[in-house]
Amino acid sequence: LPGTRDAVDSALQISDEQALRNHLHRLQASCGFVGAARLAGAVRLLRGDPQSRTARTQFHAAVAALLH
């Protein structure tokens, strides 16, 4: 998960929309397999509006919650 989070952040920083879509798509599928509903919701928000500060904040909060 930390590697995926970092890859998403990198794609956001360099505005690589294709890489961002790919990472978020794979992460969304993984969330479904393991039942990570909060992270899945945050990924959906970020996929819908990658420039949203709220979506980015919720994504990072959901990742942090799973890692702690």
pLDDT in tens, 13-24: 999 999 999 999
Q: Can you tell me whether residue 51 is helix, strand or coil?
A: coil
Q: pTM here?
A: 0.90
Which of 59, 53, 23, 52 has the alpha carbon at shortest distance from 38?
59
- What pLDDT shows up at residue 46? 98
- What pLDDT shows up at residue 20? 98
pLDDT in tens, 24-52: 999 999 998 898 999 999 999 999 999 99
- What pLDDT shows up at residue 66? 93
